[in-house]
Chains A and B, each alone.
Chain A
Amino acid sequence: MRVTLLIAWREYMENVKTKGFWIGVLLVPIVFFLIFHVSSRLATATPTRYYLLIDQSGEYAQAVETAIRREHQRRIMQDFMRYLQENRLDADAASFRAEPSSQLNQLLDNFDNDEVAALDQWLVSGGLDYALTMAQPYLRDDAPEFTEPRPQFVAATLPPEVDPEADAQDIVEQLRPYLNGERRINVDGDSASLFALVLIPEDVDQDIVRPATIQGLMTPDAGPRGVQYWAGNLTDTRLSGAIQNSINSAIRQQEYASQGIDIAAVRDVQRTRLPLSRLDPGKEAGEEAVSLADTFRQWAPMGFVYLIFISLMQSVQYLLSNTIEEKSNRIIEVLLASVTPGELMMGKLLGIGITGITTILAWIVSFFVFIRLYQTVETAMIVQVLDVLLSSDLIPYFVFYYLCCYALYAGIFLAIGSLCNTLKEAQSLMMPLMAVLVVPILTMSFIAQDPNGTLARVMSWIPLFTPFTMMNRAAAQPPMVDVIGTTIVLVLTTAAVLWLSGRVFRQGILRSGQPPRVIELWRMVRRSAS
């Protein structure tokens, strides 16, 4: 036992000194930082797009401009709501709902329930100026100034040489250098690159598609139909989408009017809805409503499966590379004169296992530190979710399946490592095992959706998949027979694998030359039995 611990300690200390370990440990905090910090910066950093709108029909320019303004107001409102939630006097997300109703809460409630209505109200009340005045008394003293988001789309002035009344073809030809980036357009005295040209031809109404004229689409037509959207960047579809939506809604309003339907009534009808309550039959009466936390709890096991998988992948690297280092550097022989192969193997399993656990703990700690440092709406939600998680029975499941999974696969990978002299040899032996390991990852979301279905139940009984599958099912109260049965099979298999690996390890560790074929492997297992 003493030497096993010594080996484990050395193994651990050497792993902790490697670059790979620190990359693994720092990966999660870096990813968190990127997700919550850089991505929000990136979103605000999206450049303002300048477009030209030439409406020869004279019918739609107003609608488009209104729609784009409205979209900008919606973004302001959205940012403001977020700003408000983060900087309220009482930023505790759980308790502010209980406060007596105020205009502020009214606004927030509206925003949560019906964004369209909230936006209407926002615009009617006077937009940001009104909201800022109203919110001022409720903001914390140290609240930062609210910064308005930059407009995403700004209409540019038409270059003087272009005649908006000219033939559509000519306009496009004249503006082509601007669209290609060869020339820059003038915007309030500054030059900017033209993002898109929206050209609404005079006879655009002829191209309106109605159910009755749907066959018209089928006839091959040489020229472009409807509104022409010219842009070099076709991946950013926000502007084209906004234009299409605004024009279509304008056309529909015309249609309603022409058919004598009250537009206001239609608008109301369109916003009519019936909520759907998601209820859980497994819960106490009165508490059946499925909350966000409940939903999260159903999906949380998938996160744990990932965690097991990633940690296992990291440990596998250490198991293989450290064993192969000892083999290829011939350290193994000195070790075997001091310790038994069994002690060596257990020491390695232990040392590398603790390395894996250290990494996971480091992730968890950095996660908590992160939540403390970045108090935003999202992290407030994560805190809520964590409470749910910690109070659930998922953690013991995770600990158990993590350890079993590690012991099971580590045994196999150690045996592989003991048979190979180079990482290259090991990789070819690892291939089949890697293919096996991909299966639980591929089936993960299917199992999460149908945790007690046939696929989930069958996979649970295959020991190599048991830890992943049962972890994935943990939140769905799997039948007792599955829980107990698969646990027994898993524990027995793990014990058998470790025992067999010990035999292969004992024989393989002094081998040199090519990795053995299957039949040799069998002989090795039998030989070490004698």
Chain B
Amino acid sequence: MSAPILELTDVTKRYGDFTAVNKINISIPQGSVYGFLGPNGAGKTTTIRMILDILRPDEGQIQVLGASSAMKVRDRIGYLPEEKGLYKKMKVWAIIAYFATLKGMNRRQAKDKAYALLEKYGLHDFANASVESLSKGMGQKVQVLSSIAHDPELVILDEPFSGLDPVNQEVLEQLIRDLSANGQTVIFSTHVMQHAERLCERLLLITQGSKVFDGTVDEARAIIPRRIVLETRDNISPIRSLDGVLSVQEHPVDDDTRLPGTRQWELYVKEQTDPQLILQHCFESGVSLSRFDFTQASLHDVFVHLVGQEAREHNFR
């Protein structure tokens, strides 16, 4: 694997007594799509601002594109902040070109690139409109384009999907895939797990400023044991004692259509356990089933499992 494009070592940021980011360590390889997940107030935006050298960490080091500060390599980074905004009076193409020229492109190239991007992502008709005439979603698309117009090696998008309708969310997903296919590294933060699930190769999950998970999507799913739900009127002790079953919990049956005496059980099974085997055992032991569900943990479940309680407490504090 090539040298990491971004590396954070024990990065910490405090505001008075409050620790916004606590000893975060990450290493992001070149060309990957990397997700920053975490509940509101977890420290995602603060971390991103530190990566960009808009804020300085109180402790720890940040290496971006081989430099000690993003400012030194700012022309090679693209950034979409969480709170979006554009100069209202400027024309759409001009604002994309302006940000590209700030990143070192010459005017001619920047203008051509602005038009090319607007064409590619369906905004060509608005190129000469002023920004204030755009809808919020369109404005956001324009801002995404202005953050990538200079072909940065590293693109950091803070909550890029918020405020977009499903169609435009797909357009943006495609844009991220295009960047990745082009060899550009993309870091984005989101609340919406489906986007992360579809796009990310690796994830960082932080809550209350601390890292709780860093790894691939599959690794994340593996955190939650696999689950089998079954309903039966029979005794399930033969299954309970099976090798792959970690624990069993009983849940009340809330469905009146079930035969009287039906009980619902939730089995947590080991990662490598084949659910087919459990089903086979049920037949062999004469346990007659009225329901058998096997679910793969979603990223959503992982998120709630890892940060759910804390996030709830945090938000209502």
Among listed A134-142, A275-283, A334-342, A355-363, interface-contacting one: A334-342
A327, closest chain B residue (CB): B85
A334 with B87, Cβ < 8 A, contacts A6-B101, A10-B98 known: no
Q: Which of A1-42 contact B (CB under 8 A)?
A: 3, 6-7, 10, 14, 17-18
Q: Which of B95-150 contact A (CB under 8 A)?
A: 98-99, 101-103, 143, 146-147
Q: What is the minimal beta-carbon distance from B138 to any residue of chain A, in angstroms? A: 15
In whole angstroms, how far apart are the Cα atoms of A18 and B90 in the complex? Answer: 11
A14 with B81, Cβ < 8 A, contacts A3-B102, A334-B99 known: no
Q: Is residue B212 contacting chain A, with contact meaning CB distance below 8 A?
A: no
Q: Is residue B240 contacting chain A, with contact meaning CB distance below 8 A?
A: no
Q: Which of chain B's residues have a CB closer than 8 A to the CB of A510?
A: 49, 54-55
Q: Which of chain A's residues have a CB closer than 8 A to the CB of B89?
A: 14, 17-18
In whole angstroms, how far apart are the Cα atoms of A326 and B98 in the complex? Answer: 14
* Of listed A329, A335, A338, residue having the most chain B CB within 10 A: A338
Q: Is residue B251 contacting chain A, with contact meaning CB distance below 8 A?
A: no
Q: Is residue A333 contacting chain B, with contact meaning CB distance below 8 A?
A: yes
Q: What is the minimal beta-carbon distance from A147 to any residue of chain B, in angstroms? A: 50
Cβ-defined contact, A331 with B54, below 8 A:
no
Among listed B71-79, B262-270, B303-311, interface-contacting one: B71-79
In whole angstroms, how far apart are the Cα atoms of A449 and B135 in the complex? Answer: 60
Cβ-defined contact, B79 with A329, below 8 A:
no
Q: Which of chain A's residues have a CB closer than 8 A to the CB of B79?
A: 333-334, 337-338
Q: Is residue A330 contacting chain B, with contact meaning CB distance below 8 A?
A: yes
Q: Is residue A79 contacting chain B, with contact meaning CB distance below 8 A?
A: no
Q: Which of chain A's residues have a CB closer than 8 A to the CB of B49?
A: 333, 510
Q: What is the minimal beta-carbon distance from B86 to any residue of chain A, in angstroms? A: 6
Cβ-defined contact, B103 with A338, below 8 A:
yes
Q: Which of chain B's residues have a CB closer than 8 A to the CB of A326?
A: 87
Cβ contact of A331, chosen from B55, B71, B87, cutoff 8 A: B87
Cβ-defined contact, B83 with A338, below 8 A:
no
Cβ contact of B81, chosen from A328, A333, A339, cutoff 8 A: A333
Interface residue tally on B, bucketed by range: 20 to 34
A331 with B90, Cβ < 8 A, contacts A3-B102, A338-B102 known: no
Cβ-defined contact, B86 with A6, below 8 A:
no
In whole angstroms, how far apart are the Cα atoms of A331 and B131 in the complex? Answer: 13
Q: Is residue B52 contacting chain A, with contact meaning CB distance below 8 A?
A: yes
Q: Is residue A325 contacting chain B, with contact meaning CB distance below 8 A?
A: yes
- Binary contact track B164-188/A, C-beta < 8 Å → 1, others 0: 0000000000000000000000000
Q: What is the minimal beta-carbon distance from B139 to any residue of chain A, in angstroms? A: 10
In whole angstroms, how far apart are the Cα atoms of A10 and B88 in the complex? Answer: 13
In whole angstroms, how far apart are the Cα atoms of A6 and B99 in the complex? Answer: 10
Cβ contact of A338, chosen from B55, B87, B99, cutoff 8 A: B99
Cβ-defined contact, A339 with B85, below 8 A:
no
Q: Which of chain A's residues have a CB closer than 8 A to the CB of B98?
A: 6, 10
Q: Is residue B228 contacting chain A, with contact meaning CB distance below 8 A?
A: no
Q: Which of chain B's residues have a CB closer than 8 A to the CB of A7?
A: 102
A329 with B87, Cβ < 8 A, contacts A6-B101, A337-B74, A338-B99 known: yes
Q: Which of chain B's residues have a CB closer than 8 A to the CB of A3?
A: 102
B150, closest chain A residue (CB): A338
Q: Which of chain A's residues have a CB closer than 8 A to the CB of B99?
A: 334, 338
* Of listed A17, A329, A331, residue having the most chain B CB within 10 A: A331
Cβ-defined contact, B87 with A325, below 8 A:
yes
Q: What is the minimal beta-carbon distance from B144 to any residue of chain A, in angstroms? A: 11
Q: Is residue B70 contacting chain A, with contact meaning CB distance below 8 A?
A: yes
Q: Which of chain A's residues have a CB closer than 8 A to the CB of B312?
A: none
Q: Which of A420-455 contact B (CB under 8 A)?
A: none
Q: Which of A315-330 contact B (CB under 8 A)?
A: 325-326, 328-330
Q: Which of chain B's residues have a CB closer than 8 A to the CB of A333?
A: 49, 54, 79, 81, 83
Q: What is the minimal beta-carbon distance from B30 to any residue of chain A, in angstroms? A: 20
Q: What is the minimal beta-carbon distance from B5 to any residue of chain A, in angstroms? A: 16
A340 with B71, Cβ < 8 A, contacts A14-B89, A333-B81, A334-B81 known: yes
Q: Is residue B314 contacting chain A, with contact meaning CB distance below 8 A?
A: no
In whole angstroms, how far apart are the Cα atoms of A18 and B88 in the complex? Answer: 12
Cβ-defined contact, B90 with A14, below 8 A:
yes
Cβ-defined contact, B102 with A339, below 8 A:
yes
Q: What is the minimal beta-carbon distance from B50 to any residue of chain A, in angstroms? A: 12
Q: Which of A98-145 contact B (CB under 8 A)?
A: none
Q: Which of chain B's residues have a CB closer than 8 A to the CB of A328?
A: 85
In whole angstroms, how far apart are the Cα atoms of A329 and B70 in the complex? Answer: 23
In whole angstroms, how far apart are the Cα atoms of A432 and B124 in the complex? Answer: 49
Cβ-defined contact, B87 with A6, below 8 A:
no
In whole angstroms, how far apart are the Cα atoms of A338 and B76 in the complex? Answer: 10
In whole angstroms, how far apart are the Cα atoms of A337 and B77 in the complex? Answer: 8
Cβ-defined contact, A330 with B81, below 8 A:
yes
Q: Which of chain A's residues have a CB closer than 8 A to the CB of B84?
A: 330
In whole angstroms, how far apart are the Cα atoms of A333 and B49 in the complex? Answer: 9
In whole angstroms, how far apart are the Cα atoms of A485 and B167 in the complex? Answer: 68
B102, closest chain A residue (CB): A338
In whole angstroms, how far apart are the Cα atoms of A330 and B140 in the complex? Answer: 12
In whole angstroms, how far apart are the Cα atoms of A454 and B77 in the complex? Answer: 59
Q: What is the minimal beta-carbon distance from A125 to any residue of chain B, in angstroms? A: 67
A527, closest chain B residue (CB): B56
Q: Which of chain B's residues have a CB closer than 8 A to the CB of A18?
A: 89
Q: What is the minimal beta-carbon distance from A479 to any residue of chain B, in angstroms? A: 48
In whole angstroms, how far apart are the Cα atoms of A274 and B93 in the complex? Answer: 76
Q: What is the minimal beta-carbon distance from A324 to any residue of chain B, in angstroms? A: 12
Can you report 14 A-B residue pairs in the complex whose CB atoms are below 8 A from each other? A6-B98, A6-B101, A6-B102, A7-B102, A325-B87, A326-B87, A331-B85, A334-B80, A336-B52, A336-B54, A337-B52, A338-B74, A339-B74, A339-B102
B interface list, Cβ under 8 A from A: 49, 52, 54-55, 70-71, 74, 77, 79-81, 83-90, 98-99, 101-103, 143, 146-147
A interface list, Cβ under 8 A from B: 3, 6-7, 10, 14, 17-18, 325-326, 328-331, 333-340, 510
Given A14-B90, A337-B54, A337-B81, 18 additional A-B pairs, CB 8 A: A17-B89, A329-B86, A329-B87, A329-B88, A330-B81, A331-B87, A333-B79, A333-B83, A334-B79, A334-B99, A334-B143, A334-B147, A336-B54, A337-B77, A338-B102, A339-B102, A340-B71, A510-B55
Closest 10 pairs between A and B when the two form their complex, measured CB to CB: A329-B85, A330-B85, A333-B81, A330-B83, A337-B79, A338-B102, A337-B52, A336-B54, A331-B85, A3-B102
